[in-house]
Amino acid sequence: MGVLAYGSLLFVSGSERLRLHCWHLLRQAFEVDLRDWAGTDANALKLWVDKSWLWLWDNDNRWLSLIDINHLQPKPMTEQPLPIPEGARIVGAAFGMLWWERENRLEALDAQGWGKELKPNLSIPLTAPLIRFPVDRFSETAFVVMEDAVFFADQQGNIWRWERESQKAEMLRSDVRLNLLPVTLSWRGRREIVWVADSRLLCLSAEGWREVPLTVRPSGNHPVAMGEGIWLPIEKGQRWAFCDDKGIVMAECRLPPQTETLYAFAAETLWLLQRDSDVVRLFRCDREGKVQPLDTWDSKEQPFVFGYQCNSSAFLLALVRRSGKAWAKLCISPSVG
């Protein structure tokens, strides 16, 4: 529903006749006409930035637009959104390509080959449908993107890697029951991709695999990397545990009873968007586990919250869709907000 790219906030408004908004703190704001999206509301749209491309598609996988954002004013690549091939379910974008799943295959469309018909440039056979991990209540993803590869997993418990140089996919592990969205971490001098499987972490680096036992059983949307540790949701995010690279719990925070996490973001501290009956609450949790309430919205306002980190600063932004308002918070350090 919204993304931050090149120092600008990009989001979409309208119904059927959609418009892309580009807000920047220092430059002029722009609006781009996305033309007619038959039967589509802006709240049903997904946005994904990859390099200088902004990909937009709807939840029903019917329409697709590509926007070149490498300009002061974003430039649509076609006059109208193009129909997505029947049966295709879009996964995400990486390496200048849009990836979708169709008929037991993972296919990719190159942005440079964009035309009137969406013909994939790459096709990978799958042993089973991909696992879809929720990022928040508006979007989901099925893979992790690294500098030179894409990692994904299927419903049979197989973990795969597609390498950019060889253009080939290989199975890395099998019979793994995954719980949460994978994340990338840099801790103790290692850069690893971390999968959560039952009560253990499966960590992959250039040196190979290692397994880390956990004393907690994560469940919820997705883990969050912070420094050299990882925040893991428990009981759908009603509790969160901060673990080190050995699986030892260093801190824990408890949220109000009967709530669940819709979105989480970390930069020095952990921000949590919680569903609580008919309201949505925003909290901040520090390394000592102290929870601080920040804001509350009626769920009918459709608040969409996301975070962005740049060096030592963190930027947290909420779009309140129904009223058309925006809420923002800049955090320079744990003690300054």
Q: Looking at residue 87, what is its pLDDT?
A: 93
**Which pLDDT belongs to residue 41?**
87
The rounded distance, in Å, linking the Cα atoms of 321 and 121 is 36
Q: Residue 235 — φ and ψ, nearest 5°?
A: 55, 50
pLDDT in tens, the chain (337 residues): 678 777 778 888 888 999 998 887 666 788 999 999 988 888 888 899 888 899 999 989 999 999 998 877 888 988 889 999 999 999 889 999 999 999 999 999 998 877 767 888 899 999 899 988 876 655 667 788 888 899 999 999 899 999 999 999 999 998 888 888 888 888 878 888 999 988 899 999 988 999 999 999 998 878 888 888 999 999 989 999 999 989 999 999 999 998 999 888 887 789 899 999 899 999 989 888 899 998 898 888 878 777 776 666 667 777 777 776 666 666 544 443 4
Cα 34 from chain centre: 23
226: Cβ contacts below 8 Å, ≥ 6 apart:
242, 266, 267, 268, 270
Please report the pLDDT score of residue 333 as a whole number.
44
pLDDT at 106: 94
Confidence (pTM): 0.84
Q: CA-based angle 39:41:44, to the nearest 5?
A: 110
**Among 68, 65, 63, 49, which Cα is nearest to 9's?**
49
Cα–Cα dist 97/68, whole Å: 13
Burial class (CB in 10 A: 0-12, 13-18, 19+), 174: exposed
The pLDDT value recorded for residue 336 is 39
Torsion sign across C-alpha atoms 166, 202, 249, 217: positive
Neighbours of 59 (CB within 10 A): 15
Which contacts of 153-159 are long-range, i.e. CB under 8 A and separated by 24 or more positions?
153/178, 153/182, 153/195, 154/126, 154/127, 154/128, 154/129, 154/130, 155/128, 155/129, 155/130, 155/131, 156/127, 156/128, 158/127, 158/128, 159/195, 159/202
